[in-house]
Amino acid sequence: MPPPHPPQDIKPPHGINFFRPRPGYMRSKVTYIWLALGGWILVTFGFQFLLLASQKSSAGTSMLTEASLFGFPFHFWFTGQFLIVWFILLCIIFNLLVDRLSDRTRKRR
């Protein structure tokens, strides 16, 4: 006996697509997610590319590695301290934007 074939018209229980969200609340929220992700990627990886592009020698010395901030080399401070602060700021900004979006859509109903 051959195995039964599933019906062709079965759809997933939820119609959520992260790359094509529905208009309104979900599209705005996904836009905020993409902006936060883009900000994190730009600061995290952009600084590393800047360090690589500004190298003066093969040892990796550059203006950014020779500069100091609060007694630490700038590149150490940036990756060890600032990126953590940047992540926390992104989380706070994202939550504030989503809360404001939720309030606006709640008032419409």
Asked whether residue 11 is assigned to any structural domain, the reply reads no
pLDDT of residue 6: 59
Asked whether residue 20 is assigned to any structural domain, the reply reads no
Asked whether residue 19 is assigned to any structural domain, the reply reads no
Note down the domain range covering 71.
25-108
* 62 vs 41: CA distance, rounded Å: 22
pLDDT at 99 over 70: yes
Domain count, the chain: 1
Query: What's the mean per-residue pLDDT of the chain?
Result: 81
The arithmetic mean of pLDDT across residues 39-60, rounded, is 84
The arithmetic mean of pLDDT across residues 12-39, rounded, is 81
Cα 101 to Cα 10, 22, 31, 61, 108: the distances in Å are: 33, 15, 12, 46, 11
Tokens of 107: 């008032």
- What residue spans of 54-82 are helical by DSSP H? 63-66, 74-77
Asked whether residue 8 is assigned to any structural domain, the reply reads no
| Percent of the chain at pLDDT exceeding 70 | 82
Asked whether residue 92 is assigned to any structural domain, the reply reads yes
Position 14 confidence tier, pLDDT thresholds 50, 70, 90: low
